[in-house]
Chain A
Protein backbone atom coordinates (compact mmCIF):
# COMPACT_ATOMS: atom_id res chain seq x y z
CA UNK A 1 0.00 0.00 0.00
CA UNK A 2 1.42 3.38 -0.95
CA UNK A 3 1.78 5.72 1.98
CA UNK A 4 0.58 9.27 1.82
CA UNK A 5 2.95 12.09 2.67
CA UNK A 6 1.80 12.35 6.30
CA UNK A 7 2.71 8.73 6.93
CA UNK A 8 6.40 9.47 6.42
CA UNK A 9 7.87 10.34 9.82
CA UNK A 10 10.46 12.74 8.44
CA UNK A 11 7.77 14.79 6.70
CA UNK A 12 5.60 14.82 9.80
CA UNK A 13 8.58 15.83 11.91
CA UNK A 14 9.56 18.68 9.61
CA UNK A 15 5.96 19.90 9.48
CA UNK A 16 5.68 19.83 13.28
CA UNK A 17 9.11 21.42 13.64
CA UNK A 18 7.96 24.35 11.52
CA UNK A 19 4.80 24.66 13.60
CA UNK A 20 6.77 24.51 16.84
CA UNK A 21 9.35 27.05 15.76
CA UNK A 22 6.65 29.31 14.42
CA UNK A 23 5.42 29.38 18.01
CA UNK A 24 8.08 32.03 18.57
CA UNK A 25 5.94 34.42 16.60
CA UNK A 26 2.60 33.57 18.28
CA UNK A 27 3.21 36.18 20.93
CA UNK A 28 6.02 37.94 22.76
CA UNK A 29 8.82 35.70 24.03
CA UNK A 30 8.16 34.36 27.51
CA UNK A 31 10.50 36.05 30.00
CA UNK A 32 12.40 34.21 32.78
CA UNK A 33 10.25 35.79 35.52
CA UNK A 34 7.13 34.47 33.75
CA UNK A 35 8.16 30.80 33.98
CA UNK A 36 6.86 29.90 37.42
CA UNK A 37 4.05 27.77 35.99
CA UNK A 38 6.35 26.16 33.41
CA UNK A 39 8.69 25.07 36.22
CA UNK A 40 6.01 22.95 37.92
CA UNK A 41 6.74 19.18 37.74
CA UNK A 42 3.55 18.43 35.80
CA UNK A 43 4.58 20.94 33.11
CA UNK A 44 7.82 19.09 32.39
CA UNK A 45 7.87 16.21 29.91
CA UNK A 46 9.71 13.93 32.33
CA UNK A 47 6.82 13.70 34.82
CA UNK A 48 7.26 10.80 37.24
CA UNK A 49 10.34 8.95 35.86
CA UNK A 50 9.70 5.59 37.57
CA UNK A 51 6.07 5.63 36.49
CA UNK A 52 7.02 6.45 32.89
CA UNK A 53 9.83 3.93 32.74
CA UNK A 54 7.79 1.00 33.97
CA UNK A 55 4.70 1.89 31.96
CA UNK A 56 6.78 2.07 28.78
CA UNK A 57 8.33 -1.26 29.71
CA UNK A 58 4.87 -2.85 30.00
CA UNK A 59 3.64 -1.41 26.70
CA UNK A 60 6.78 -2.46 24.82
CA UNK A 61 6.22 -6.03 26.01
CA UNK A 62 2.56 -6.14 24.90
CA UNK A 63 2.56 -4.06 21.71
CA UNK A 64 4.50 -3.97 18.46
CA UNK A 65 5.66 -0.36 18.74
CA UNK A 66 8.03 1.15 21.30
CA UNK A 67 10.31 4.12 21.95
CA UNK A 68 9.94 7.72 20.87
CA UNK A 69 10.51 9.64 24.08
CA UNK A 70 14.22 9.07 24.71
CA UNK A 71 17.29 6.93 24.13
CA UNK A 72 18.90 4.17 26.17
CA UNK A 73 17.27 1.95 28.74
CA UNK A 74 18.16 -1.37 27.14
CA UNK A 75 16.01 -4.33 26.18
CA UNK A 76 14.59 -7.38 27.86
CA UNK A 77 13.37 -10.85 27.04
CA UNK A 78 9.76 -9.77 27.44
CA UNK A 79 9.38 -8.73 23.83
Chain B
Protein backbone atom coordinates (compact mmCIF):
# COMPACT_ATOMS: atom_id res chain seq x y z
CA UNK B 1 0.00 0.00 0.00
CA UNK B 2 1.28 3.43 -0.85
CA UNK B 3 0.96 6.02 1.87
CA UNK B 4 0.99 9.73 1.32
CA UNK B 5 4.07 11.37 2.86
CA UNK B 6 3.22 13.17 6.03
CA UNK B 7 4.01 16.85 6.40
CA UNK B 8 6.50 16.90 9.24
CA UNK B 9 7.54 20.13 10.82
CA UNK B 10 10.87 19.28 12.46
CA UNK B 11 10.73 22.49 14.46
CA UNK B 12 13.14 21.33 17.15
CA UNK B 13 15.75 20.21 14.66
CA UNK B 14 15.52 23.46 12.72
CA UNK B 15 15.79 25.52 15.90
CA UNK B 16 18.80 23.53 17.07
CA UNK B 17 20.46 23.98 13.72
CA UNK B 18 19.71 27.70 13.69
CA UNK B 19 21.14 28.01 17.19
CA UNK B 20 24.20 26.04 16.17
CA UNK B 21 24.75 28.27 13.16
CA UNK B 22 24.41 31.41 15.30
CA UNK B 23 27.21 30.40 17.67
CA UNK B 24 30.55 32.07 17.04
CA UNK B 25 32.97 29.70 15.33
CA UNK B 26 35.96 31.77 16.40
CA UNK B 27 35.77 30.28 19.88
CA UNK B 28 35.36 26.74 18.65
CA UNK B 29 38.21 24.34 18.75
CA UNK B 30 39.03 20.66 18.71
CA UNK B 31 40.78 18.82 21.50
CA UNK B 32 43.44 17.54 19.13
CA UNK B 33 46.88 19.13 19.13
CA UNK B 34 48.61 20.42 16.03
CA UNK B 35 50.19 17.49 14.16
CA UNK B 36 53.95 17.15 14.42
CA UNK B 37 54.28 15.08 11.24
CA UNK B 38 52.69 15.25 7.82
CA UNK B 39 51.35 12.23 5.98
CA UNK B 40 50.88 11.28 2.36
CA UNK B 41 48.57 8.35 1.64
CA UNK B 42 47.45 6.47 -1.46
CA UNK B 43 44.64 3.98 -1.85
CA UNK B 44 43.36 1.83 -4.68
CA UNK B 45 39.74 0.79 -4.26
CA UNK B 46 37.85 -1.79 -6.25
CA UNK B 47 34.11 -2.25 -5.93
CA UNK B 48 31.97 -4.85 -7.67
CA UNK B 49 28.35 -5.68 -7.11
CA UNK B 50 26.27 -8.53 -8.41
CA UNK B 51 22.87 -10.14 -8.38
CA UNK B 52 22.10 -13.84 -8.89
CA UNK B 53 23.82 -15.05 -12.06
CA UNK B 54 25.03 -11.66 -13.20
CA UNK B 55 27.72 -9.13 -12.44
CA UNK B 56 26.64 -5.55 -12.45
CA UNK B 57 28.61 -2.46 -11.60
CA UNK B 58 32.37 -2.31 -11.26
CA UNK B 59 34.23 0.70 -9.83
CA UNK B 60 37.97 1.32 -9.85
CA UNK B 61 39.11 4.27 -7.78
CA UNK B 62 42.46 5.85 -6.99
CA UNK B 63 42.70 8.34 -4.18
CA UNK B 64 45.64 10.22 -2.75
CA UNK B 65 45.74 12.55 0.24
CA UNK B 66 48.33 14.82 1.77
CA UNK B 67 48.25 16.43 5.21
CA UNK B 68 51.04 18.83 6.11
CA UNK B 69 51.61 20.73 9.37
CA UNK B 70 52.52 24.40 9.01
CA UNK B 71 54.34 26.48 11.60
CA UNK B 72 53.13 24.41 14.53
CA UNK B 73 49.67 25.97 14.63
CA UNK B 74 48.23 25.13 11.25
CA UNK B 75 47.70 22.15 8.99
CA UNK B 76 46.52 21.80 5.42
CA UNK B 77 44.91 18.69 3.95
CA UNK B 78 43.92 17.78 0.44
CA UNK B 79 42.49 14.66 -1.20
CA UNK B 80 42.16 13.81 -4.87
CA UNK B 81 39.95 10.94 -6.05
CA UNK B 82 39.59 9.55 -9.53
CA UNK B 83 37.09 6.78 -10.13
CA UNK B 84 35.56 5.08 -13.11
CA UNK B 85 32.28 3.18 -13.06
CA UNK B 86 31.22 0.66 -15.67
CA UNK B 87 28.63 -2.06 -16.01
CA UNK B 88 24.92 -2.66 -16.24
CA UNK B 89 22.19 -0.90 -14.33
CA UNK B 90 20.38 -2.58 -11.41
CA UNK B 91 18.21 -5.52 -12.36
CA UNK B 92 15.07 -4.65 -10.46
CA UNK B 93 11.57 -3.72 -11.46
CA UNK B 94 12.94 -0.22 -12.13
CA UNK B 95 12.07 0.85 -15.65
CA UNK B 96 14.93 2.72 -17.30
CA UNK B 97 14.87 5.29 -20.02
CA UNK B 98 16.31 3.96 -23.27
CA UNK B 99 20.07 4.40 -23.46
CA UNK B 100 20.43 4.33 -19.67
CA UNK B 101 20.87 0.59 -19.17
CA UNK B 102 24.65 0.60 -19.72
CA UNK B 103 26.69 2.77 -17.40
CA UNK B 104 30.13 4.19 -18.05
CA UNK B 105 31.10 7.13 -15.91
CA UNK B 106 34.19 8.88 -14.78
CA UNK B 107 34.37 11.00 -11.63
CA UNK B 108 37.04 13.29 -10.28
CA UNK B 109 36.82 14.86 -6.85
CA UNK B 110 39.13 17.08 -4.87
CA UNK B 111 38.81 18.54 -1.41
CA UNK B 112 40.91 20.96 0.56
CA UNK B 113 40.81 21.96 4.21
CA UNK B 114 42.82 24.24 6.45
CA UNK B 115 42.93 23.84 10.23
CA UNK B 116 44.07 26.35 12.84
CA UNK B 117 44.94 24.87 16.24
CA UNK B 118 44.41 26.72 19.51
CA UNK B 119 45.34 25.85 23.06
CA UNK B 120 41.90 24.31 23.60
CA UNK B 121 41.16 23.03 20.15
CA UNK B 122 40.90 23.89 16.48
CA UNK B 123 38.91 25.43 13.67
CA UNK B 124 38.68 23.87 10.19
CA UNK B 125 37.48 25.42 6.93
CA UNK B 126 37.03 23.12 3.95
CA UNK B 127 35.82 22.98 0.39
CA UNK B 128 35.24 20.15 -2.06
CA UNK B 129 34.50 19.76 -5.75
CA UNK B 130 33.27 16.66 -7.56
CA UNK B 131 32.70 16.35 -11.29
CA UNK B 132 31.08 13.71 -13.47
CA UNK B 133 29.87 14.08 -17.04
CA UNK B 134 26.32 14.63 -15.78
CA UNK B 135 26.83 15.92 -12.23
CA UNK B 136 28.85 18.65 -10.52
CA UNK B 137 28.92 19.16 -6.76
CA UNK B 138 30.55 21.98 -4.78
CA UNK B 139 30.65 22.09 -1.00
CA UNK B 140 31.92 24.50 1.65
CA UNK B 141 32.23 23.65 5.34
CA UNK B 142 33.33 25.06 8.65
CA UNK B 143 33.85 23.00 11.78
CA UNK B 144 35.24 23.85 15.16
CA UNK B 145 35.52 22.36 18.61
CA UNK B 146 36.10 23.58 22.10
CA UNK B 147 37.46 21.45 24.90
CA UNK B 148 37.34 21.84 28.64
CA UNK B 149 40.41 22.73 30.74
CA UNK B 150 41.27 19.07 31.40
CA UNK B 151 40.69 18.20 27.69
CA UNK B 152 38.39 15.36 28.71
CA UNK B 153 35.28 16.88 27.14
CA UNK B 154 35.14 18.38 23.66
CA UNK B 155 32.19 20.11 22.05
CA UNK B 156 32.02 20.14 18.26
CA UNK B 157 30.01 22.37 15.97
CA UNK B 158 30.00 22.38 12.19
CA UNK B 159 28.04 23.47 9.16
CA UNK B 160 28.24 23.01 5.41
CA UNK B 161 26.61 24.24 2.22
CA UNK B 162 26.50 22.07 -0.89
CA UNK B 163 25.30 23.04 -4.34
CA UNK B 164 24.83 20.41 -7.06
CA UNK B 165 24.13 20.76 -10.77
CA UNK B 166 22.63 17.83 -12.66
CA UNK B 167 22.78 17.62 -16.45
CA UNK B 168 21.35 14.21 -17.46
CA UNK B 169 23.21 12.69 -20.38
CA UNK B 170 19.91 11.52 -21.92
CA UNK B 171 18.72 15.12 -22.02
CA UNK B 172 21.76 17.34 -22.37
CA UNK B 173 19.89 20.61 -22.73
CA UNK B 174 18.31 20.26 -19.27
CA UNK B 175 19.98 21.46 -16.08
CA UNK B 176 18.70 20.89 -12.56
CA UNK B 177 19.93 22.22 -9.22
CA UNK B 178 20.03 20.95 -5.67
CA UNK B 179 21.18 22.90 -2.62
CA UNK B 180 21.78 21.42 0.82
CA UNK B 181 22.67 22.97 4.14
CA UNK B 182 23.77 20.72 6.96
CA UNK B 183 24.86 21.13 10.55
CA UNK B 184 26.43 18.99 13.23
CA UNK B 185 26.68 19.42 16.97
CA UNK B 186 28.42 16.90 19.16
CA UNK B 187 30.30 16.05 22.30
CA UNK B 188 33.28 13.76 22.85
CA UNK B 189 34.00 12.52 26.36
CA UNK B 190 36.99 10.70 27.82
CA UNK B 191 35.45 8.26 30.30
CA UNK B 192 38.51 6.38 31.53
CA UNK B 193 42.12 5.84 30.46
CA UNK B 194 40.75 3.25 28.04
CA UNK B 195 37.32 4.52 27.04
CA UNK B 196 36.22 7.42 24.90
CA UNK B 197 32.68 8.09 23.65
CA UNK B 198 31.16 10.53 21.19
CA UNK B 199 27.61 11.64 20.41
CA UNK B 200 26.80 13.73 17.30
CA UNK B 201 23.48 15.18 16.21
CA UNK B 202 23.28 15.99 12.51
CA UNK B 203 20.74 17.87 10.47
CA UNK B 204 20.48 18.44 6.72
CA UNK B 205 17.95 20.20 4.56
CA UNK B 206 18.07 20.01 0.79
CA UNK B 207 15.96 21.67 -1.88
CA UNK B 208 15.86 20.99 -5.60
CA UNK B 209 16.20 17.96 -7.83
CA UNK B 210 16.21 14.60 -6.02
CA UNK B 211 15.03 12.43 -8.93
CA UNK B 212 17.07 9.78 -10.68
CA UNK B 213 16.86 11.12 -14.26
CA UNK B 214 17.55 7.68 -15.75
CA UNK B 215 14.58 5.93 -14.17
CA UNK B 216 11.08 6.14 -15.55
CA UNK B 217 8.25 7.11 -13.17
CA UNK B 218 10.83 8.58 -10.77
CA UNK B 219 9.35 11.76 -9.40
CA UNK B 220 10.42 12.52 -5.83
CA UNK B 221 9.67 15.50 -3.58
CA UNK B 222 11.81 18.58 -4.27
CA UNK B 223 13.00 18.84 -0.69
CA UNK B 224 14.51 16.43 1.79
CA UNK B 225 15.19 16.98 5.46
CA UNK B 226 17.19 14.47 7.48
CA UNK B 227 18.36 14.07 11.06
CA UNK B 228 20.96 11.74 12.47
CA UNK B 229 22.15 10.69 15.88
CA UNK B 230 25.58 9.06 15.81
CA UNK B 231 27.14 7.50 18.89
CA UNK B 232 30.61 5.95 19.01
CA UNK B 233 32.53 4.18 21.73
CA UNK B 234 36.17 3.09 21.55
CA UNK B 235 37.47 0.77 24.25
CA UNK B 236 41.00 -0.54 24.73
CA UNK B 237 41.55 -3.98 26.24
CA UNK B 238 44.67 -4.14 28.38
CA UNK B 239 44.81 -7.93 28.28
CA UNK B 240 45.02 -8.25 24.48
CA UNK B 241 46.22 -4.71 23.67
CA UNK B 242 43.29 -4.64 21.21
CA UNK B 243 40.71 -1.91 20.67
CA UNK B 244 37.01 -2.30 19.97
CA UNK B 245 35.28 0.44 17.98
CA UNK B 246 31.50 0.39 18.29
CA UNK B 247 29.13 2.81 16.56
CA UNK B 248 25.41 3.22 16.18
CA UNK B 249 23.61 5.69 13.93
CA UNK B 250 19.92 6.49 13.83
CA UNK B 251 18.72 8.27 10.69
CA UNK B 252 15.30 9.68 9.84
CA UNK B 253 14.18 11.83 6.93
CA UNK B 254 11.17 13.52 5.36
CA UNK B 255 10.99 10.84 2.64
CA UNK B 256 9.81 8.51 5.41
CA UNK B 257 13.03 6.52 5.72
CA UNK B 258 14.09 5.49 9.23
CA UNK B 259 17.40 3.66 9.38
CA UNK B 260 19.56 1.99 12.01
CA UNK B 261 23.26 1.28 11.49
CA UNK B 262 25.29 -0.74 13.99
CA UNK B 263 29.00 -1.29 13.34
CA UNK B 264 31.76 -2.98 15.30
CA UNK B 265 35.41 -3.47 14.51
CA UNK B 266 38.25 -4.80 16.61
CA UNK B 267 41.82 -3.61 16.06
CA UNK B 268 44.36 -6.21 17.18
CA UNK B 269 48.10 -5.43 17.03
CA UNK B 270 50.28 -8.48 16.36
CA UNK B 271 54.04 -9.13 16.55
CA UNK B 272 56.36 -7.69 13.89
CA UNK B 273 54.22 -4.55 13.37
CA UNK B 274 51.22 -6.37 11.93
CA UNK B 275 47.68 -5.31 12.78
CA UNK B 276 44.51 -7.21 11.96
CA UNK B 277 41.04 -5.63 12.12
CA UNK B 278 37.91 -7.75 11.62
CA UNK B 279 34.67 -5.79 11.26
CA UNK B 280 30.92 -6.29 11.00
CA UNK B 281 28.16 -3.79 10.13
CA UNK B 282 24.40 -4.23 10.13
CA UNK B 283 22.06 -1.75 8.45
CA UNK B 284 18.28 -1.65 8.28
CA UNK B 285 15.88 0.87 6.76
CA UNK B 286 12.18 1.38 6.19
CA UNK B 287 10.95 2.32 2.73
CA UNK B 288 10.26 5.84 1.54
CA UNK B 289 6.57 6.76 1.81
CA UNK B 290 6.34 6.99 -1.98
CA UNK B 291 8.16 3.77 -2.93
CA UNK B 292 6.24 1.70 -5.49
CA UNK B 293 6.63 -2.04 -4.79
CA UNK B 294 7.36 -4.44 -7.62
CA UNK B 295 3.94 -6.12 -7.50
CA UNK B 296 2.13 -2.86 -8.24
CA UNK B 297 0.28 -2.91 -11.55
CA UNK B 298 -0.03 -0.09 -14.05
CA UNK B 299 -1.32 2.66 -13.91
CA UNK B 300 0.94 3.86 -11.10
CA UNK B 301 -0.15 6.42 -8.48
CA UNK B 302 0.47 10.11 -9.04
CA UNK B 303 3.81 11.59 -7.84
CA UNK B 304 5.70 11.57 -5.61
CA UNK B 305 6.80 8.07 -6.54
CA UNK B 306 9.91 6.01 -7.13
CA UNK B 307 10.85 2.44 -7.93
CA UNK B 308 14.43 2.90 -6.78
CA UNK B 309 15.27 -0.16 -4.70
CA UNK B 310 17.55 2.00 -2.53
CA UNK B 311 14.40 3.63 -1.18
CA UNK B 312 12.68 0.31 -0.41
CA UNK B 313 12.80 -1.41 2.98
CA UNK B 314 15.77 -3.75 3.40
CA UNK B 315 18.54 -4.87 5.67
CA UNK B 316 22.23 -5.24 4.87
CA UNK B 317 25.17 -7.01 6.45
CA UNK B 318 28.85 -6.25 5.82
CA UNK B 319 31.63 -8.51 7.06
CA UNK B 320 35.21 -7.43 6.53
CA UNK B 321 38.83 -7.80 7.49
CA UNK B 322 41.72 -5.36 7.25
CA UNK B 323 45.39 -6.22 7.59
CA UNK B 324 48.10 -3.60 7.92
CA UNK B 325 51.85 -3.69 8.46
CA UNK B 326 54.41 -1.06 9.27
CA UNK B 327 57.14 -1.91 6.77
CA UNK B 328 59.56 0.79 7.91
CA UNK B 329 59.61 3.51 10.53
CA UNK B 330 57.37 5.88 8.55
CA UNK B 331 55.77 3.50 6.06
CA UNK B 332 52.45 1.68 6.51
CA UNK B 333 50.74 -0.64 4.03
CA UNK B 334 47.22 -2.04 4.36
CA UNK B 335 44.71 -4.26 2.59
CA UNK B 336 41.01 -4.56 3.31
CA UNK B 337 38.31 -6.89 2.02
CA UNK B 338 34.60 -6.49 2.73
CA UNK B 339 31.56 -8.46 1.62
CA UNK B 340 28.17 -6.74 1.53
CA UNK B 341 24.80 -8.49 1.33
CA UNK B 342 21.50 -6.63 0.98
CA UNK B 343 18.15 -8.41 1.39
CA UNK B 344 14.55 -7.19 1.32
CA UNK B 345 13.71 -9.65 4.10
CA UNK B 346 16.36 -8.37 6.50
CA UNK B 347 14.70 -5.07 7.42
CA UNK B 348 14.12 -5.21 11.18
CA UNK B 349 10.85 -3.34 10.74
CA UNK B 350 9.63 -5.63 7.94
CA UNK B 351 7.91 -4.35 4.83
CA UNK B 352 10.63 -5.45 2.41
CA UNK B 353 9.74 -5.75 -1.26
CA UNK B 354 9.96 -9.52 -1.80
CA UNK B 355 9.99 -9.02 -5.56
CA UNK B 356 13.47 -7.54 -5.47
CA UNK B 357 16.52 -9.64 -6.31
CA UNK B 358 19.16 -10.20 -3.63
CA UNK B 359 22.05 -7.78 -3.93
CA UNK B 360 25.71 -8.48 -3.13
CA UNK B 361 28.88 -6.43 -3.36
CA UNK B 362 32.51 -6.71 -2.41
CA UNK B 363 34.92 -3.89 -1.64
CA UNK B 364 38.70 -4.20 -1.83
CA UNK B 365 41.15 -1.53 -0.66
CA UNK B 366 44.93 -1.49 -1.01
CA UNK B 367 46.76 1.37 0.67
CA UNK B 368 50.18 2.76 1.42
CA UNK B 369 51.09 5.80 3.48
CA UNK B 370 54.22 7.60 4.60
CA UNK B 371 54.75 10.07 7.39
CA UNK B 372 57.16 12.95 6.82
Contact = CB atoms under 8 A, between A and B. Distances in A.
Contacts of A34: 193
Interface stretch (B114-122, B158-166, B294-302): B158-166
Contacts of B288: 64
A36 B158 CA distance: 28
B194 A37 contact: yes
Interface residues of B, number: 103
Given A43-B243, A64-B285, A74 B162 contact: yes
B129 to A, nearest CB: 7
Contacts of A68: 200, 202, 228-230, 249, 251
Contacts of A73: 111, 128, 139, 141, 160
Nearest to B266: A42
A49 B164 CA distance: 24
Nearest to B39: A49
Nearest to A76: B130
A50 B135 contact: no
Given A9-B13, A23-B189, A23-B197, A43 B311 contact: no
Contacts of B73: none
Contacts of A24: 152-153, 189
Contact of A13 (B166, B199, B340): B199
A55 to B, nearest CB: 7
Nearest to B310: A64
A38 B190 contact: yes
B74 interface: no
A78 B12 CA distance: 31
A21 interface: yes
Contacts of A7: 250, 252, 258
Interface string A58-79: 1100111111111111111111
In the complex, which of the residues A10, A24, A55, A67 has the most CB atoms of chain B within 10 Å of its own CB atom?
Answer: A67
B310 A63 contact: yes
B41 A45 contact: no
Contacts of B130: 74-76
Given A29-B152, A64-B311, A45 B232 contact: yes
Contact of B65 (A50, A58, A62, A69): A50
B277 to A, nearest CB: 8
A24 B148 CA distance: 12
A6 to B, nearest CB: 9
A36 to B, nearest CB: 8
Interface string B243-280: 10100011111010111010000010000000000000
Contacts of B232: 45
Contacts of A79: 310
Contacts of A45: 188, 196, 198, 232, 234
B143 interface: yes
B363 A55 contact: yes
Most buried by B among A16, A31, A34, A72: A72
A48 B322 CA distance: 11
B229 A65 contact: no
A49 to B, nearest CB: 7
A63 B197 CA distance: 26
Contacts of B259: 63-65
A54 B32 CA distance: 23
A44 to B, nearest CB: 8
Given A68-B230, A73-B128, 10 more contacts: A12-B250, A32-B150, A42-B234, A54-B365, A62-B310, A63-B259, A67-B251, A71-B141, A72-B139, A74-B109
Interface of A: 7, 9-10, 12-13, 16-17, 20-21, 23-24, 26-27, 29-32, 34-35, 37-38, 40, 42-45, 47-51, 53-55, 58-59, 62-79
7 contacts: A7-B250, A30-B150, A58-B47, A58-B361, A71-B183, A74-B139, A78-B85
The 6 A-B residue pairs with the shortest CB-CB distance in the complex, in nearest-first order: A72-B141, A77-B135, A74-B139, A65-B259, A65-B251, A68-B228
